[in-house]
Structures are given as C-alpha cells and as structure tokens.
Structure 1
C-alpha cells in the first residue's frame, strides 16, 4: 500500500500539469546565473523552458549575437533545469560560464518548477502567457525556428 501511495505522489506533477492552455502558472522564485532572484510575474509574456543541456544549447544558439536585454525587452524569461548536473560541475564550470551570457538564465536547481510543464526533453518549450495564464504553447527543436519566433515577438 505504501508503494502505491509513493507511486501516486511521484506521478502527481505529471497528472497536474500547470501549463495547459487557459491555466494560470503557479508563481515561483528562482535564482539566475548571477544569484539574482527572479519571480514569475504578470508582465511575463513568454516562458522558455529547457529540460536538459541540448535544449539549453538551442536557446544559446537562437540568441546568438543578440544584445544584452533582448529577452527582457520582449518580456521573455528562460528557465533551465540543471538538477541532473553534478553540483561540482555546475558550481565550478557551468554556472561561471553562464555568467558570460548576454541573457539571463533562471536556474531550476532542483527541477521542481520545470517538472510542472509538459514537453520533450530535447526541445525548448515556449509558453505564451497573458497575465500569468497560458494562452499557447509550442516546442522548438531548432535554433533557427526559435530565433524566428523570438524575432517575431515585438519588444514592449
């Protein structure tokens, strides 16, 4: 019986997807690569989610040589799940390397936020938001398609 309960509890994030169209995203606060807190707010129009390093590389390639503040000007936020990255690697190499990026990477260190959103491991999930509610969701498997979608999103 206790195994059944444990199984049910472990599946709860999959059953209660918080990213269905029409649903309001649960608020969260996470630290970025500069240890600055970011809280999801009503002004956020796009939430980009990467579940692994391959997806994060798509975001990096899509942003390419864009100027600092490119995502922020579009009210877009990039969240990367780094829970599977060994702590020593993230602390000594990965996060310091991210500090050189010209965009903010909000880090989900324990994977609890990203686990709420559906999507393929190797694709970037795009959640289109209005006042914190999901109005559309897409997945991108190529940096070119993601870059085109970001370019089509007018700055605010």
Structure 2
C-alpha cells in the first residue's frame, strides 16, 4: 500500500490546466515589497512566466499603472522556480526598482502549473466573477497595450 501511495503522490502534484469556463478561487499574494493583496475580483490577470515576459509587463505597467491601481487588472509573476538565493540577492532588488505598480508574486508551483501557458508569451486571462471567460497570449509590449486599451475603452 505504501508503494502505491509513493507512486501516485507525484502524479497528484500535476494540476489540470485551467480552461475557459473554469473558476479561479480568490487568493492572497504578496507584491515585490511583501505587501499582501487579495486577487480574484479583477477583470483581467496578466501572467508572466520568466525574465522576458516579466520585463514586458513591467515596462508597460511602469508607464501606465492605472489599471493595476484601479484593481481592474492584476499582474501575477510566476516565481516558483527561482532558487531562493538568486531570488533574494538578484531578482527581488531588481523587482523593487519598479515602484509605480504592484507585481504580485506567486510561489505556488501547483497553482502556477494549473495556469494556461505558451512559451515566450504573457498569458492574459479575462475573468468574470472569478470564471475564465477568455484566454489570450501576447509576446510584446505593443500587443499587451493594444489588448488592454481595447478592453478598457469599451
């Protein structure tokens, strides 16, 4: 019995990837300054996965943080794979240089693995009352700006 549990445990760690129509439960995440934020009521989540996609989102939101400040959009960065030494010595000081907007940091590997992902792209989740209504992928700042401006002009 113990052997079966040991074999099945790693399989349970692989999360089902969320899709259109699925619900995302509200959660609390910390920003780059360790301030806690409750997420789940926003209209859009902008998800970043690596140094490149995080830079794209940071460049955009540092110029125009209004959507984040109005709680219409949440920028969530996957930090689950960064070793703690690298994180504290190099990554966090760099992230704390962004003072005009909050970048929410997710260290939960299982949750992050459940989020839709496309290599080299930011993931944009359109939410309505915590339910995913649409998923898009963008790979540069201009596409991100166009997508968000179109959405919030309506």
TM-score band (shorter)?
Answer: 0.7 to 0.9
Report the number of matched residues: 150
Answer whether contact 1:21 1:134 (CA < 8 A) is retained.
yes
Answer whether contact 1:79 1:108 (CA < 8 A) is retained.
yes
Tell me, which stretches of 5 or more residues in structure 1 are unaligned?
none
Structure 1 moving runs of 4+ over 6 Å: none
Tell me, which stretches of 5 or more residues in structure 2 are unaligned?
none
Cα deviation for residue 3 of structure 1 reads: 5.5
Within-5 A mapping of 1:103-142: 103-142=101-140
**What SS class does the counterpart of residue 85 from structure 1 fall into?**
coil
Change (3 A) 1:74 1:149: farther
- Distance in 1, matches of 2:26 and 2:61, equals 26
Answer whether contact 1:33 1:99 (CA < 8 A) is retained.
yes
2:74 is matched with: 77
- Distance in 1, matches of 2:111 and 2:30, equals 12
1:93 is matched with: 90
RMSD: 2.2
Q: Can you list the C-alpha shifts for 1:66-100, whole angstroms capped at 9, x where unaligned?
A: 2x434233610011111222212221332122222
- Distance in 2, matches of 1:100 and 1:89, equals 16
**What SS class does the counterpart of residue 19 from structure 2 fall into?**
coil
Within-5 A mapping of 1:20-39: 20-39=19-38
- Distance in 1, matches of 2:40 and 2:11, equals 31
Answer whether contact 1:70 1:103 (CA < 8 A) is retained.
no
- Distance in 1, matches of 2:92 and 2:108, equals 15
What TM-score do you get using the length of structure 2 for normalisation? Answer: 0.84
